[in-house]
Amino acid sequence: EAGVAQSPRYKIIEKRQSVAFWCNPISGHATLYWYQQILGQGPKLLIQFQNNGVVDDSQLPKDRFSAERLKGVDSTLKIQPAKLEDSAVYLCASSLREGIGRSYNEQFFGPGTRLTVL
Amino acid sequence: KQEVTQIPAALSVPEGENLVLNCSFTDSAIYNLQWFRQDPGKGLTSLLLIQSSQREQTSGRLNASLDKSSGRSTLYIAASQPGDSATYLCAVIGGSARQLTFGSGTQLTVLP
């Protein structure tokens, strides 16, 4: 079974430029997550999709970050304009479905995109 | 707001040693707790998931325990090997959307 795919793996940009990341979740997984992991810290959830709808984007800096999952499969995360503090690894994860009741559906993570903003 | 703390931040041990990684969380109303491994330049690999009703889980040389009432979990690694060198992350699952809240990780180096 293919895992979560992300591209590009690495990206270097100047501050104030724009950048976009792409994620393809595991086939059949309804829930998709984007995380930001700053060096030396654990991943922080940016946005969670259930199919093509947003479940939670409370920690997404909406003045510069946007994300979409138009057909409920692939997703893109965009930063415009980028700041120095956006340098991080951006991880995408997917799960079969959102947790229901006391169940939890394991999240599977992609390799991440390492962004460096100069 | 849930906060997850991992101690120590870094650990270096000689090969063959048994070791314990610690994780604490502030809100005991969690559904599950999960331990991940992260290798440089790679994503996260799930190691063990403990349901809130369980006290421990084992997989090979790994054993994870959970004490919900005290807000603590430990990951025990027996007979450590250089291949165990990685960052180990603890995450708790909670909230209405069953979201993961991560600690900052423990960077483990096992010396040959």
Q: How confident is the model at residue A99 (pLDDT cuts 50, 70, 90)?
A: low
Is residue B90 over pLDDT 60? Answer: yes
Using the Cβ of B42 and the Cβ atoms of chain A, whether some distance falls under 8 Å is answered with yes
Across residues B92-104, what is the average pLDDT?
85
pLDDT for position A102: 45
Is residue B37 over pLDDT 70? Answer: yes
Q: Where are the beta strands (DSSP E) in chain A?
A: 5-7, 10-13, 19-24, 31-37, 44-50, 53-56, 65-68, 75-79, 88-95, 108-109, 113-117
pLDDT for position B39: 92
Task: Judge: B99–A4 Cβ closer than 8 Å, yes or no.
Answer: no
> Which of B32, B102, B103 has the CB atom closest to A104's CB atom?
B32
Is residue B13 over pLDDT 90? Answer: yes
Q: What span, in angstroms and rounded, lies between the C-alpha atoms of A54 and A71? A: 13
pLDDT for position B85: 97
B23 in Cβ contact with B75 (< 8 Å): yes
Q: What is the dihedral of CA B96, A27, B58, A89, to 10 degrees?
A: -70
Is residue A100 over pLDDT 70? Answer: no
Task: Judge: B93–A104 Cβ closer than 8 Å, yes or no.
Answer: yes
A114 in Cβ contact with A89 (< 8 Å): yes
